[in-house]
């Protein structure tokens, strides 16, 4: 498909386990964003990639969270030693470039449940 693809769509894990969430952006999009959507909350910015570089990691809530992007395409968000408060929908978006008015296209998200 031509849209942003995220996998898995749902992930249930036990507290203390590590999880990896994957994002395949739209082909040719250089900018990639991760957001977190908690119940009753808006979209919380986590991290931004321009190519393979992450100039802004300011939204990562703790050092248990990390992300990488390889080949200017696929990105992986890793959460180590998951906690119950990490339960949320993790959304990935991509845009053609980093211009603020470039439309951000979102994937359907990964719903993470930490038991």
> Please, are residues 94 and 4 in contact by the beta-carbon 8 Å criterion?
yes
Element (DSSP H or E) covering residue 43: strand 43-50
Dist. CA 115–CA 93, nearest whole Å: 27
| Binding residue for other proteins, selected from 1, 14, 27, 41, defined by CB under 8 A | 41
Dist. CA 54–CA 71, nearest whole Å: 13
32 binds other proteins (CB under 8 A): no
Using the minimum distance from each CB to other proteins, give the nearer residue, 82 or 94: 94
Using the minimum distance from each CB to other proteins, give the nearer residue, 3 or 16: 3
| Binding residue for other proteins, selected from 77, 91, 112, 114, defined by CB under 8 A | 91
* Residue for token pair 């808006």: 42
Q: Burial of 115 by CB count in 10 Å (0-12 exposed, 13-18 middle, 19+ buried)?
A: exposed
Using the minimum distance from each CB to other proteins, give the nearer residue, 20 or 44: 44
Smallest gap from residue 7 Cβ to other proteins (A): 13
| Binding residue for other proteins, selected from 1, 42, 70, 71, defined by CB under 8 A | 42
Instruction: Name the residues that contact other proteins, by CB under 8 A.
Output: 4, 31, 33, 35, 40-45, 48, 56, 91, 93, 95, 98-101, 103-109
């Amino acid at each position: 498909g031509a849209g942003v693809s995220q996998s898995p769509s749902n992930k249930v894990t036990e507290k203390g386990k590590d999880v990896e969430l994957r994002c395949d952006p739209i082909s040719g999009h250089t900018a990639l964003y991760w957001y977190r959507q908690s119940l009753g909350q808006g979209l919380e910015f986590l991290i931004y990639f321009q190519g393979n570089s992450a100039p802004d990691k300011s939204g990562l809530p703790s050092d248990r969270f990390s992300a990488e992007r390889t080949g200017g395409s696929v990105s992986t968000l890793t959460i180590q030693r998951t906690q119950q408060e990490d339960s949320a929908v993790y959304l990935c978006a991509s845009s053609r470039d980093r211009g603020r008015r470039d439309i951000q296209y979102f994937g359907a998200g990964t719903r993470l449940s930490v038991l």
